[in-house]
Structure 1
């Protein structure tokens, strides 16, 4: 478990360093205090504790992430390596699953379209690899965000977004990546 956690954190740090233009130095313990990396580290530790059967301790780490960073992420949520959360405030990641190399900006919400206390995965979004969720994006219901798609700022996604596409607007519509998004 510790080895997988370490590898995942190394992948998260490497992707953050790459996106921020920093040299590819190895991850050190002080990096856990970076405001861009600390919340991701807490997500990873909460998930590792959950998987190891330490549910109450996992919830405590999850709560610390919420209190300190304003980031709500269930400890049970499986997230692939290479996660980057540019800013955390007001972000809720209540997805069924999140793939690798996903970039999430602040005030993003992934969740069920109606109250789902039981946390039913079929009622929640699935995010594939390489997806970018821009500031304020809302993705609701059992939708799938395809590999490499981008959800524009403040878009409200209520239907599947195909791989490699751009979803913009309220409700979101799909536009070609080279086509300028126009106000509705």
Structure 2
């Protein structure tokens, strides 16, 4: 009975912490009541349940919870085997994919369409059973929209991964990994419609 009460108290504290993180990191959310409707609240709650089932060996049930969470969240897919720390935040969330052996530290923020993936099943089949195939993100990492992190790489604490970056190597603590920026050409294009058919 004490174990159940302790687990419920811990879950309650974790839920409040998640709501507070949403309020702190999303300027459009004004309080805990509104934060309940944020995708992060559903995704984190669903993952916590799915991860507990996965660890208990109830893999099909864990997958079912993960699939339901994906549908209800508008497309956030987190494998129930992924390890996610405290105060995790997904802004917008749509299209986010986090693989089975991904490890995410505390205070991590991820934007929409981020992939924490492997290098492909053809490579994964060659790995030893239980070997990590997905990225490990340290504490305080921020991953920008549409960034793709592949393989058993490690992203150091407080690193920043820019939007649309493709990262396949380790990133040191506090470093920044950016995708090339678009070049702005101030010349006006010429429109020669004559002669076109």
1:109-156 CA-partner distances (Å, limit 9, x unpaired): 001112237885432211111000100000001110000111000000
Q: TM-score, normalised by structure 1?
A: 0.79
Separation (CA, whole Å) in 2 of partners of 1:114 and 1:130: 27
Which of 89, 100, 107 aligns to 1:101? It is 107
| RMSD (CA atoms) | 2.6
Query: Partner of 1:123: helix, strand, or coil?
Result: coil
Aligned to 1:178: none
SS of the residue 1:37 aligns to: helix
From 5, 19, 22, the counterpart of 2:11:
5
> Does the aligned pair in 1 maintain the 2:113–2:145 contact within 8 Å?
yes
State the TM-score, normalizing by the size of structure 2: 0.75
CA deviation vs aligned residue, 1:70-92 (integer Å, no higher than 9, x gap): 11111121100101111121111
- Aligned match of 1:35: 39
SS of the counterpart of 2:132?
Answer: helix
Larger radius of gyration: 2
Residues 1:42 and 1:106: Cα distance change in structure 2 (over 3 Å): same
Aligned residue runs from structure 1 range 101-180, under 5 A: 101-115=107-121, 116=124, 120-169=130-179
CA distance in 2, matches of 1:87, 1:3: 28
Return 5+ residue gaps in structure 2 as ranges.
1-6, 184-197
Q: How many residues align?
A: 170
Report which stretch shifted further, 117-126 or 6-15: 117-126
